[in-house]
């Protein structure tokens, strides 16, 4: 993407009535010279900066849309399917349409299909249903038979048995980074208060390793500078002023993204007129029930077990080389057996990646 326009200075045009028009010239995706403008009542530094920000965002979106227009997305492939297929029974059409909508919720309508590798597609489907896989295979078969898709590595996806992936799901206790991005993105795109708040909660859980009840019980008073104090849990409609075990009472450090999530949750509450000292509260300002979180995950076709995000935190730390004892303390585990199991899984995967890397590496 050509982003030379990011370096351009914005032009200021004072109008006869005293208002101002800000203008930025740029080269559009089709190579033609274009300009975008924003009008304000008067010329101020604040208005100028806001105008440039708005114009940049609009141009970025134009380039992103152009990129999508040139690619085969999941939504496009589904549209092509319905233009080609004729359904004599309305019930059959509804069933197929419902299954394709489930795929859109799971993978995202703008997922670019033809550039995905076989490995990436498998990662996306680790928590998919048998029906999800069946219908994506139908779509891929259609795309290749019609000459729409040309990525022949991806063509092998439709030959993989559902049971092989199902076994993989049972064995693997954590998410890959690519899977997390899809889940958080799909939750935010649902665009309801609870789904967006759920995305914040699960991302926060992934980054801190807290139990879900510990996060739901978290209050503003327990957030201080770069730390949170974990000393309570919320479960089955009850707040308990104690954690699962004595070792679960702990003070955890927060990274930059954790602090951003807390601020974004606060902004979401403010935008919805909610006044509550609960960091991640419900639409009514009360403690959010885990059932609502599971329903949000179910609505996007994701695994409803929130504990998997906690285990993912352990896997990410292991991958980053954090010692096992440190991970155990951070998770508040009484012993290291659970953490050790995940640690072994991750380090085994890293060793396999090393073997694959060096088997294809020519040094001399």
Predicted confidence (pLDDT) per residue in 61-82, tens digit: 877 766 656 678 888 899 989 9
Same domain, yes or no, for 254 and 301? yes
The rounded mean pLDDT for the chain is 81
Same domain, yes or no, for 204 and 294? yes
Same domain, yes or no, for 194 and 218? yes
Number of domains in the chain: 3
What pLDDT does 281 receive? 96
Considering 63-77, 154-168, 170-184, 342-356, the range whose residues carry the highest mean pLDDT is 170-184
Same domain, yes or no, for 96 and 138? yes
Task: Please check whether residue 265 lies inside any domain of the structure.
Answer: yes
Sequence-separated (6 or more) residues with CB below 8 Å from residue 312: 174, 175, 180, 206
Task: Please check whether residue 209 lies inside any domain of the structure.
Answer: yes
Above pLDDT 70, what percent of the chain?
79
Same domain, yes or no, for 167 and 243? no
State the Rg of the chain over Cα.
24
Same domain, yes or no, for 230 and 203? yes
279-314 pLDDT, tens digit each? 999 999 999 999 999 999 999 988 888 988 988 888
Mean pLDDT of 192-210: 94
Give the CATH number, domain containing residue 186: 1.10.443.10
Top-confidence residue, 202 or 117: 202
Residue 120 CA to its chain's centroid (Å): 15
Q: Cα(258)–Cα(207) distance, rounded to whole angstroms?
A: 7
User: Is residue 257 over pLDDT 80?
Assistant: yes
Mean pLDDT of 139-146: 84
User: Is residue 188 over pLDDT 80?
Assistant: yes
Above pLDDT 90, what percent of the chain?
31
Q: Which of 83-97, 163-177, 264-278 has the lowest mean pLDDT?
A: 163-177
Same domain, yes or no, for 33 and 133? no
What pLDDT does 360 receive? 59
Cα dist from 278 to 44, 213, 265, 332, whole Å: 38, 13, 10, 22
Q: Which domain holds residue 216?
A: 178-306
Task: Please check whether residue 84 lies inside any domain of the structure.
Answer: yes
Same domain, yes or no, for 65 and 81? no
**Of 205, 223, 214, which Cα lies nearest the Cα of 297?**
205
Same domain, yes or no, for 186 and 297? yes
Task: Please check whether residue 355 lies inside any domain of the structure.
Answer: no
In the numeric block, which tokens belong to residue 299? 């609505």
What pLDDT does 94 receive? 85
Specify whether the CB–CB gap between 304 and 294 falls below 8 A. Answer: yes
Q: Reduced to 3 states, what is the DSSP secondary structure of residue 151?
A: coil
Task: Please check whether residue 276 lies inside any domain of the structure.
Answer: yes
User: Of 49, 69, 89, which one is at a domain's C-terminal end?
Assistant: 69
**Of 214, 215, 219, 220, which Cα lies nearest the Cα of 243?**
214
User: Of 171, 194, 211, which one is at a domain's C-terminal end?
Assistant: 171
Same domain, yes or no, for 47 and 145? no
What pLDDT does 349 receive? 59
User: Of 306, 341, 359, which one is at a domain's C-terminal end?
Assistant: 306
What are the φ/ψ torsions at residue 300 (nearest 5 degrees)?
-105, 10
Task: Please check whether residue 363 lies inside any domain of the structure.
Answer: no
20-50 pLDDT, tens digit each? 999 988 887 777 888 889 999 999 999 988 9
Task: Please check whether residue 87 lies inside any domain of the structure.
Answer: yes
Q: Cα(134)–Cα(360) distance, rounded to whole angstroms?
A: 33
Same domain, yes or no, for 8 and 107? no
Max Cα–Cα distance, the chain, nearest Å: 74
Rounded to 5°, the CA angle 342-303-153 comes to: 80
Task: Please check whether residue 332 lies inside any domain of the structure.
Answer: no
Q: Cα(11)–Cα(275) distance, rounded to whole angstroms?
A: 42
What pLDDT does 286 receive? 95
Same domain, yes or no, for 197 and 218? yes
């Amino acid at each position: 993407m050509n982003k030379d326009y990011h370096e351009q200075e914005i032009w200021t045009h004072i109008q006869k009535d005293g208002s101002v028009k800000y203008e930025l010239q740029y080269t559009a995706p089709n190579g033609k010279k274009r300009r975008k403008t924003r009008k304000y009542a008067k010329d101020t530094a604040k208005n100028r900066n806001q105008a440039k920000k708005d114009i940049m965002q609009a141009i970025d979106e134009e380039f992103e849309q152009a990129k999508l227009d040139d690619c085969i997305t999941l939504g496009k492939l589904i549209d092509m399917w319905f233009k080609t297929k004729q359904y004599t029974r309305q019930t059959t059409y509804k069933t197929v349409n419902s299954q394709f909508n489930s795929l859109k919720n799971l993978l995202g309508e703008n997922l670019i299909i033809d550039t995905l590798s076989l490995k990436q597609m498998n990662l996306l489907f680790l928590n998919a249903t048998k029906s999800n896989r069946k219908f994506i295979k139908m779509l891929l078969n259609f795309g290749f038979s019609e000459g729409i898709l040309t990525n022949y590595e991806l063509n092998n996806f439709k030959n993989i048995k559902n049971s092989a992936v199902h076994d993989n799901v049972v064995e693997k206790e954590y998410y890959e980074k690519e899977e997390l991005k899809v889940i958080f993105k799909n939750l935010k795109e649902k665009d309801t208060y609870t789904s967006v708040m759920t995305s914040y909660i699960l991302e926060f859980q992934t980054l801190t390793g807290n139990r879900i009840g510990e996060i739901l019980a978290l209050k503003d008073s327990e957030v201080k500078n770069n730390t949170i104090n974990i000393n309570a849990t919320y479960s089955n409609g009850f707040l308990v002023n104690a954690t699962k075990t004595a070792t679960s009472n702990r003070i955890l450090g927060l990274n930059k993204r954790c602090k951003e999530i807390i601020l974004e949750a606060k902004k979401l509450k403010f935008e919805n007129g909610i006044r509550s000292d609960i960091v991640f509260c419900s639409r009514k300002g009360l403690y959010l029930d885990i059932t609502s979180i599971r329903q949000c995950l179910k609505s996007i076709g994701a695994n409803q077990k929130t504990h998997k995000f906690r285990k993912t935190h352990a896997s990410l730390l292991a991958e980053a080389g954090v010692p096992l004892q440190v991970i155990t303390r951070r998770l508040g585990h009484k012993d290291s057996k659970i953490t050790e199991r995940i640690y072994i899984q991750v380090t085994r995967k890293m060793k396999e990646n090393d073997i694959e890397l060096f088997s294809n590496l020519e040094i001399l």
